């Protein structure tokens, strides 16, 4: 298992050992003991799975607020995505910064997204199976998001945004500045 730090505070890229031959491959996608050996000790309680049928689907940028905040361990089992996260923890050295990562069925990478990050992705291929573990249960009342097209963030989405396939909800999130007054995430307190 290889754990790589990113430029964003507390975000990790995780690469599990993959054993392949003429039949295909085998990987242990998660081991609580191996994660703990690397200082990644989370109690994941819920697994989520989404299918995006077409390339150009944007989902996000989402998070759960307050006591329902979630750490996520993300991976893609078919297809490929550009996964985007934004640090929204007030006082963080990387507050308001974003990074993106290619996650695919071929690179087997996983992304550990801490509490206090907004998360989203765009599908680069059709038929993307996107899976993630959460260390807290989903709470509809705590659901939140920021605008995928926030001009201050200037996220470099690799598609024509006028043709993005999205939910109505994801078209109506506030910008990070508009969310600031109600932002409950404070670096070091989550």
Per the CB < 8 A criterion, the answer to whether 71 and 137 are in contact is no
Chain centroid to Cα 78, Å, comes to: 16
Give the Cα separation of 161 and 153 in Å (integer).
15
141: left (phi over 0), alpha (psi -120 to 50) or beta: alpha
Which of 49, 62, 137, 173 does the annotation list as catalytic?
Answer: 62
Please confirm, yes or no, whether 22 is among the known catalytic residues.
no
Please confirm, yes or no, whether 62 is among the known catalytic residues.
yes
Which of 117, 119, 132, 173 does the annotation list as catalytic?
Answer: 132
H-only helix segments in 80-184: 168-171, 176-179
Catalytic residues: 62, 132
């Amino acid at each position: 298992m290889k754990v790589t730090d990113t430029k964003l505070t507390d975000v990790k890229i995780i690469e599990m050992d993959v054993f392949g031959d003429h039949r295909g491959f085998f990987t242990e996608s998660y081991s609580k003991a191996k994660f703990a050996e690397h200082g990644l000790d989370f109690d994941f309680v819920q697994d989520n799975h989404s299918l995006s049928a077409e390339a150009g689907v944007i989902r996000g940028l989402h998070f759960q607020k307050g006591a329902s905040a979630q750490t996520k361990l993300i991976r893609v089992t078919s297809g490929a995505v550009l996964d985007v996260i934004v640090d929204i923890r007030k006082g963080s050295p990387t507050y308001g910064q974003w990074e993106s990562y290619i996650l695919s069925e071929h690179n087997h990478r996983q992304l550990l997204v801490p509490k206090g990050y907004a998360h989203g992705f765009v599908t680069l291929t059709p038929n993307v199976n996107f899976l993630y573990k959460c260390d807290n249960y989903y709470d509809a009342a705590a659901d939140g998001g920021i605008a995928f097209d926030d001009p201050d963030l200037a996220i470099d989405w690799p598609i024509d945004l006028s043709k993005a396939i999205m939910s109505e909800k994801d078209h109506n999130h506030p910008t990070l500045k508009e969310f600031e007054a109600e932002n409950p995430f404070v670096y070091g307190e989550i």
